[in-house]
Amino acid sequence: MSDLSPSVLFEHPLNEKMRTWLRIEFLLQQLHQYPVLRDIATALAFFRTISDLLDVLERGEVRTELVKELERQQQKLRVWADVPGVDMSRVEALRQQLKQRSTALMAAPRLGQSLREDRLISLVKQRLSIPGGCCSFDLPTLHMWLHLDQEARNSQVNSWLATLAPLSDALTIILDLIRQSGPFKNQISLNGFFQDNAEDADLLRLRVALEHQIYPQISGHKTRYAIRFLSLDSERGQVPARLSFTLACC
C-alpha cells in the first residue's frame, strides 16, 4: 500500500482495559465537538454523549487503571535513561508530564460525580431512553435553558467539560504513548485472512487502502489475534487474494 494513497485507520483493543479507554476517548472527543449548544439537536447530542460517558465510567475502576498505567509508562521511561544517545531532556519532560497527570487524577473527585449530581444533566439523562422523551412538554427545564443567553450556556458547558479535564489529560498522554510504541509494518493477507502473535500488546492499529472498500473483523487477545477482511459491499464486493495493509502492534 502506497503511503500516498488514501487509507482508513482501524484500531482494535486486545483487552478490556483498552476497550474501555478507547470508548471513553471516543465519547470525550464527541463532547468537545459541541462547545456551543445553539439548538435542541446539538444539545441532545451533547447530553446523550455525557450520559453514555457516565455509564462507561460506572463500570470498573477507571481511575485505578489509569493511575497504574501512568506509573507503568514512567517505569518504561526510566529504562530509556540507560540507553546511549537518548534525548534525556525529552525523557525527563515526559516523566514530569506523567507525574503531573497522575497527581491531578488522584486529587480529582470521583470521575463524573459532579456531572451525575447536576440537576439539568440528571433530568435529561432520565428522559433519553424514552423515544421522543425530550420534548419541551417533557423537559421544560431544558427548553428554558436553551433560551438563556448563549454566553451563559457556554459558561456552563465549559464548566462541565472542565470537570473531565483530569480524566481527559491522563487518557490522552497514555494513549499517545501506547500508539507510538508500535511502528507500522507492511503486511499481506491471503484470501482475506491474517493472524499473528500479539506479544502481550494492548492495541492493534491497521491502515487499509480506501480504494478497496474493505474493513477488518478482528478477534484476539494480548497473546494472539486473527484478522478477517470483509468487503463493504457484502453482495458484490470482493476481497483481493493478496491484500497489502500496514499493521502496528502496540
User: Burial of 175 by CB count in 10 Å (0-12 exposed, 13-18 middle, 19+ buried)?
Assistant: buried
What does the DSSP 8-state code read for residue 239? -
Give CA separation, 93 vs 77, 107, 167, 171, in Å. 10, 21, 20, 17
Mean pLDDT value across residues 36-61: 92
Q: What's the CA gap between 93 and 89, in Å, rounded?
A: 6
Q: Which residues of the chain form CATH 1.10.3900.10? A: 34-180
Cell of 133: 422523551
Angle between helices 88-107 and 62-80 (to 10 degrees): 160
pLDDT digits (tens, 9 = 90+) for 99-158: 999 999 999 999 999 999 999 999 999 999 999 999 999 999 999 999 999 999 999 999
Mean pLDDT value across residues 195-213: 92
pLDDT at 3: 55
Mean pLDDT value across residues 2-29: 90
- Is 90 exceeded by the pLDDT of residue 78? no
Q: Tell me, what amino acid is at 178? A: I
Better-scored residue on pLDDT, 88 or 170: 170
CATH code, 7-12+182-249 = 2.60.440.10
Task: Select 34-180's CATH number: 3.60.15.10, 1.10.150.120, 3.40.50.970, 1.10.3900.10.
Answer: 1.10.3900.10
**Inter-residue contact 153 to 34 (CB < 8 Å):** no
**Inter-residue contact 239 to 188 (CB < 8 Å):** no
Selection from 32, 49, 42, 28 nearest residue 170 by Cα: 28
Give CA separation, 128 vs 46, 116, 152, 158, in Å. 11, 15, 24, 22
Q: Would the pTM count as exceeding 0.75?
A: yes
Q: Mark 147-171 as b/e (b = at least 16 C-beta within 10 Å).
A: eeeeeebeeebeebbebbebbbebb
Q: What percent of the chain has pLDDT over 90?
A: 79
Cell of 225: 489475534
Q: Which residues of the chain form CATH 2.60.440.10? A: 7-12+182-249
pLDDT digits (tens, 9 = 90+) for 172-203: 999 999 999 999 999 999 999 999 998 889 99
H or E element: which one contains 188? Answer: strand 185-190
Strand, coil or helix: what is 24? helix
Mean pLDDT value across residues 56-83: 89
Write down the mean pLDDT value for the chain: 92
Chain-centroid distance, C-alpha 165: 14
Give CA separation, 49 vs 25, 42, 60, in Å. 12, 11, 19
